[in-house]
Chains A and B, each alone.
Chain A
Amino acid sequence: MALDELTQMTLTGINLGLMYALIAIGLTLIFGIMRIIQYAHGEFYMLGAYVLYYWAAVLKLPYWVGIIVSAAVIFVVGAALQLLLFRPLHGKNILYSLAVSMGLIFIISSGGLLTFGTIVKGIPSVVTGGVMVFGAFYTYERMVISIVSAGLILGLWYFLQRTTTGMAMRAVSQDPEVSSLQGINTRRIHWIAFGMGSAMAAVAGCLMGTLLSIVPTMGFIATVKAFMIVILGGLGSVPGALIGGLIIGFIDSFVTTLVSADVAYIIGFATIFVILAFKPTGLFGQDWD
């Protein structure tokens, strides 16, 4: 294997891995705090990409502002859905919320096909050019996207570790009852977390949509990837989602380049099965009751 090829695959691995991690961290945040399986998570990734598409490609408004707008819109949509659909089911059997999130997949993606059409669309790039790294061409666009993804992940980490609301989120994920004894309004934390998790998926959708292309059915694959990653890294664990994202990103990059995308899926799942056999809670997971 030549050095340029190896460098290319590594850079792509990091690129993909960080974006996967962004989606997966949103999902793991929602699970950790609410203990619900949000199957429609990938739909917010898709919707986020379309918000940016309409903003930047149709209305021709500034790209970077569009990402913030997309995150804000999807935050509101996510928070509203939590309040309307998931709050009434809180504390009940997990199958109820599972049914709701399954339903949302079809409602949102079919609604997307009706509204946005079936034609593949693209979000125009705003960063051009690139640089040669060990014989591999690294576009500035991919570099910026990696930096933005990593920055957001770090930002979330800081938020969870250092701010009072972030601490409250971690507290609620560990013991909601005792959290309320400290004065934490757990219902408020729930919609904030759902909104934030969804917004992270939306930003990932924007970035991925810029690199590749967008279709209303793209959410499902993102959900599958996100679940692969959080199960691999450990449900509810933010570092787990980051490491898991990078592992799946590297497998996708290397195996797709060297063999094919189908084999990448097989190897991805095989890796998960092996890790689960040795550590059933995932790499950084804990036992959930």
Chain B
Amino acid sequence: MLLEVENLRIHYDKVEAVKGISLSVDEGNISTLIGANGAGKSSILKAISGLIKLSSGEIRFEGKRINDVPAHKIVGLGIAHVPEGRRLFGLMTVQHNLRLGAYLQRDKKHLEESFQLVYEHFPILKERQGQLAKTLSGGQQQMVAMGRALMARPKVILMDEPSLGLAPIMVAEIAKIIKSLKEAGLAVVLVEQNASLALKLADKGYVLETGTVALEGKSEELIGNAYVKKAYLGG
């Protein structure tokens, strides 16, 4: 097991946003968390990345407890986070955004390889490397956000709503890239409101409702589930 979350609880002030959630992510697998706004999906990712404190529970990465690891030390363990809304460094070039993704990497040769890897996945970014990130289209910005995470050469990427606000053709493109990341051996935790897209991509799915896991299972089972169909797949 690569990443495990056990009995996670998160409070914002006195409001409990996540109420005892457990999940696990296997190496080289895509797991998805689907659910409505406010179901606690993003909070779980932020807790894994050390951006918010958990009230109780445990997060383990490669068997080690990482609850109290500060945010800036998480990426070095092999966990990269693509935040919701891309959150690029808009006033910096594409190349500098990518460089910062590998901030901890000081080895020139290794860096060069990482750039090459990212440009293989996202050839358009090579053309745009000198451009300010804020001047890119939404889809290209999402690519930079994913590329930035990839620069860290992580074992798992946490992706928060990568399809949000993108045109359908771009969504398909992003989906293809997520698949190729899996083929390259990466694990992905995909948080999505677009449930049909997420379940098609994922090996395993968790349906979150108001801070608890309402349903979990293999994606194909969830796709066939009558409740999921009705509530999330518009069928």
Q: Which residues of A contact B (CB under 8 A)?
A: 164, 167-168, 170-171, 174-175, 177-186
Contact = CB atoms under 8 A, between A and B. Distances in A.
B64 to A, nearest CB: 18
Contacts of A168: 100, 103
Contact of A171 (B49, B74, B89): B89
Contact of B87 (A164, A178, A183): A178
Given A171-B100, A182-B75, A183-B73, 13 more contacts: A164-B103, A167-B96, A170-B89, A170-B91, A175-B87, A175-B89, A177-B71, A180-B51, A180-B72, A181-B49, A181-B71, A182-B148, A186-B72
A184 B91 contact: no
Contacts of A185: 72
Contacts of B83: 177-178, 181
B204 interface: no
Contact of A174 (B49, B91, B99, B101): B91
B152 interface: yes
A167 B111 CA distance: 16
B153 to A, nearest CB: 12
B159 to A, nearest CB: 12
Contacts of B148: 182
B165 interface: no
Interface string B81-92: 101000101111
A interface SS class: helix
B89 A183 contact: no
B76 interface: yes
B79 to A, nearest CB: 9
Contact of B92 (A171, A180, A184, A186): A171
Contacts, number: 61
Contacts of B71: 177, 180-181
16 contacts: A168-B103, A170-B89, A171-B89, A171-B92, A174-B91, A177-B51, A177-B87, A181-B49, A181-B74, A182-B103, A183-B76, A183-B103, A184-B72, A184-B100, A184-B103, A185-B72
A178 B100 CA distance: 10
Contacts of B81: 181
Nearest to A170: B92
A204 to B, nearest CB: 26
Interface of B: 49-51, 70-76, 80-81, 83, 87, 89-92, 96, 99-101, 103-104, 106, 148, 152
Given A164-B103, A168-B100, A178-B83, A183 B75 contact: yes
Contacts of A175: 87, 89
Nearest to A178: B87
A78 B74 CA distance: 29
B99 A183 contact: no
Contacts of A174: 89-92
A180 B70 CA distance: 9
Most A CB contacts (10 A, CB to CB) among B49, B89, B90, B91 go to: B89
A286 to B, nearest CB: 8
A33 to B, nearest CB: 13
A175 B106 CA distance: 22
A170 B97 CA distance: 11
A181 B75 contact: yes
A186 B71 CA distance: 10
Contacts of A184: 72, 100, 103
A164 B108 CA distance: 12
A181 B77 CA distance: 12
A153 to B, nearest CB: 19
Contacts of B89: 170-171, 174-175, 178
B104 A181 contact: no
A26 to B, nearest CB: 20
A186 B70 CA distance: 11
Contact of A183 (B51, B92, B96, B152): B152
A179 B89 CA distance: 9
- List 4 A-B pairs, minimum CB-CB distance, nearest first: A180-B71, A183-B104, A183-B75, A180-B72
A168 B75 CA distance: 15
Nearest to B87: A178
Contacts of B76: 183
Contacts of B100: 167-168, 171, 179, 182, 184
A183 B50 CA distance: 11
Contacts of A179: 100
A245 B49 CA distance: 42
A170 B80 CA distance: 20
A111 B83 CA distance: 48
A168 B106 CA distance: 14
A270 to B, nearest CB: 30
A40 to B, nearest CB: 28
